[in-house]
Structures are given as C-alpha cells and as structure tokens.
Amino acid sequence: MTSASAARSGGPAPELQTALPAFSRRTILVGTGVALAAALAGCSRSSPVSAAAGPSGPLRIGAIPDQDPEVLQRLYGTVADSMSRALGLQVSYEPVTDYAGAVSLFRTGDLHLVWFGGLTGVQARLQTPGAIPIAQRDIDADFHSIFVVNAATGLAPADDLTPLAERRFTYGSETSTSGRLMPAYFLKEQGVDPQGFPGGPGFSGSHDATLALVASGTYESGVLNEQVWKSRTQEGSVDPAVVQYARTPAFHDYHWLLGPQAVERWGHDLPGRLTGYFTGLSADDETDAEVLQLFGAGSFIETRASNYDQIEDIGRDLGLIH
C-alpha cells in the first residue's frame, strides 16, 4: 500500500435518517442518466471555496487535514471524480488548512459534505442544526489509537500508560479524535494527567507529523491513529527509532457529514443518494476498489448521530465541547 493508501481523522433523529432511501449506485445511475453523469464528470478538484456559488455550482466536499496534503489531494480528488460520475453532480474537493477551519466552513455552508473525525463531526453537528451523518468506514465502528515511543526510551510494549507521564509527549491536532481526545481519555482513566507531561503536551497538527517528531527525539512519545500507523509501517516509511508502545480500546471515529444547505439546494433525496453511493462501493469494481483502498476500508456502512454520544460526553468532560 502506498502513502496515499491511508486516509484518512449529528443531524436529525435516527428514525429520520433510516427513513431515507439507500439507493444502489446502479439505481443512482439509472435515475440521473448516464449521459448527464458523463457530461458532469470533469469536476474541479481545486477550485477556491466560494460561498457565492449559485444553484448550478458544485457540491463542495472537504476533510480534516489529518495527513500530508499530497495524500489528501489524491484521496479526495479521486472521491470527487467517482462521486460526480455516480451521482450526476459536479463535485469539487476543497482543501482546508486546519481542523477548526473545516468545522467553520461546514457551518457557513462553504463546504457541503465533509469527512470529519468523531470530535470535529460532533462539533460541526452542534454548530450546524440539520446536519446529517451519511456514512462511515467499516473500520470506524472499531477504531483505535496507537501510543508510540522513541526506542531510546527503552520502554517495552505494555498496556500500562503511567510510564508515559514522565516523558515529553505530543498529541496530533488539538481537536483530533484519535490523536488527542480518546488518547487523553484513556490516559486519564489510568491516572495520567492528559496535560501534565514535562513542559506540557505538544500538538503536532497531524499523525504524520507526530511520527516525525517522535522519530527525531523532539518528543519521546506520542499518539496517532492506528490506520496511519499500520499503513506507514506496511510501506516501510516509519523510522526504526519509533516503536509501538500501546493500543487503545475501540471507539467510533471518522464519518461523512452533510450540511443542510446542500439538502436545500439538491433536494431531500440527497442524503439517501449519498449514503447509497458510499455503501454501494464494491471491491469488485475497479473504480470503487480504488476509492476503498485509498480510504483503507473494506466497505462503507451507514451511521447515525448516536454513535458519537461517547465522544460528545468525553469532549465536554475535557473541555473541548462547550
């Protein structure tokens, strides 16, 4: 798997979400017309975000910047092309520079559909009444974080997180679910002050940056999401100085969230069409398989706001949600 193979960091009541039709991709193609889909397939991947786009403007998708920009550009550019062909809509990927920016642009309607982590998804949903969870990967129902250490610490793999309390430690982004929120929760569960590391914790900004900082010895330990750890390990890009120390228990994480402005513009069947597109991706189809591989997923599955109740509770407890 190449470096691009790892992607990847609410809404109405569940009964309303489940009532939306989940069409297959073939149904979508028939309903929208193959000719229209082909005509609109040439979507823009990098046009600037503009709140002034009219009804004929593109469906703008975005994502939290949890990895290197080149990885994200390939991943979401491919998704934009695939979604455009399947739904018969013009779709463009709009990069953002930080997690808070993704939440803000979603709230204002500058981004219509965003790949959020668990915490940023909750933040965006609370700030955007009517936002609808669309889908998550199969792995997001059973997600984990990995604590890593510099080999020079001499720490051997263990379930005990207390030895990390005396080490220089870095999280990822301040609002990352797998790179900050859930690791802080599990540290606190074992009696470690999540903010009490020597000199205070660092915030690298992304999972790849965390690996680099621990490898250099700038920080003796850190935490990142398991998917990125596995991918970088498999491709051989992890510095030998970085070793796995512990794996967290499971939690829900990444998911697609759709804004209410998109539903107003493209119709009330859009949530069902999008869920149908993602859950209809098949490893047996060459194009679909590429999207799934880039996301590091076997499939996408439906999701709902209640899946992230634990994250909301922990976020409030840690002061990350007000």
Per-residue pLDDT of the chain (322 residues; tens, 9 = 90+): 433 333 333 333 333 333 333 333 433 333 333 333 333 333 333 333 333 334 569 999 999 998 888 889 999 999 999 999 999 999 999 999 999 999 999 999 999 999 999 999 999 999 999 999 999 999 999 999 999 999 999 999 999 999 999 999 999 999 999 999 999 999 999 999 999 999 999 999 999 999 999 999 999 999 999 999 999 999 999 999 999 999 999 999 999 999 999 999 999 999 999 999 999 999 999 989 999 998 999 999 999 999 999 999 999 998 999 7
CA distance to 112, 132, 217, 264, 277, per residue, from 272 (Å): 15, 10, 48, 14, 8
202: left (phi over 0), alpha (psi -120 to 50) or beta: beta
Do residue 85 and residue 149 come from a single domain?
no
d(CA 321, CA 315): 5
| Gyration radius (Cα) of the chain, Å | 20
pLDDT of residue 56: 64
Average pLDDT, the chain: 86
Domain contains 322? no
Domain containing residue 200:
144-247
Domain contains 22? yes
d(CA 23, CA 146): 36
Which strands sit side by side in the sheet containing 145-150, from one edge to the other?
Answer: 202-203, 169-171, 221-225, 145-150, 242-247
The model's pLDDT over 162-176, given as tens digits with 9 standing for 90+, comes to: 999 999 999 999 999
Domain contains 238? yes
User: Which residue, 231, 247, 263, sits at the end of a domain?
Assistant: 247
User: Which residue, 247, 277, 309, sits at the end of a domain?
Assistant: 247
pTM of the model: 0.79
CATH number at residue 193: 3.40.190.10
Do residue 35 and residue 135 come from a single domain?
yes
Q: Are strands 113-116 and 91-93 parallel, antiparallel or unpaired?
A: unpaired
d(CA 112, CA 46): 15
The answer to whether the beta carbons of residues 180 and 222 sit under 8 Å apart is: no
